[in-house]
Amino acid sequence: MAAERAADALPLERLPPFAAFSLYFAHGSEIDPRPLGRRLAETGAVALLPVALSHSTALIFRVFAPDAALEPDVVGVPSPPKSAAEMVPDLIVAPLLAFDRRGGRLGQGGGHFDRTLENLRAARPVFVLGLAYAGQEVDEIPMEPHDQRLDAVLTETGYRPVEQD
């Protein structure tokens, strides 16, 4: 399966140090991040899930416990409950519909990840790993000033750092 191949292909030594990482709840045809999450959790890092509190603000991140019940956030995505602790991730595994070799990312269109990444990157370094199927690569994603680039992409065919212009 593609998700397991992608998780197995991740060279952990190429990632910056991370104490907490964020996954996502797969929607539609997005690649399943759970195998990658299990691999990242083996490092001892804390697993988080993003939570939308409104349609127009940045996401927050809450600790994800695999055995805990999830509840829908404001946009209907299953998320950890309000009782779960909030943390800031060092590594974000980002969902996407398409990507390019320069780190351009096309998401679901709500702008949540771009707002969130902009805020996080203004405060401290955060590494953003796009998780996708290899077939989702396109020649170029048109980028606007507010769009945030990926640092690397992981697919079932391997790990690719973003090409710098």
At 44-103, the pLDDT tens digits run 999 999 999 988 888 999 999 888 899 999 988 999 999 999 999 999 999 889 999 999
Residue 110: pLDDT over 70? no
Which residues touch 46 (CB under 8 Å, ≥6 apart)? 19, 20, 21, 63, 87
Domain 2-158 belongs in CATH node 3.40.50.300: no
Whether 88 contacts 50, CB under 8 Å: no
Q: Please state the domain extents for the chain.
A: 2-158
Q: What pLDDT, on the 0 to 100 scale, is given for residue 57?
A: 86
Which residues touch 64 (CB under 8 Å, ≥6 apart)? 23, 47, 48, 49, 80, 84
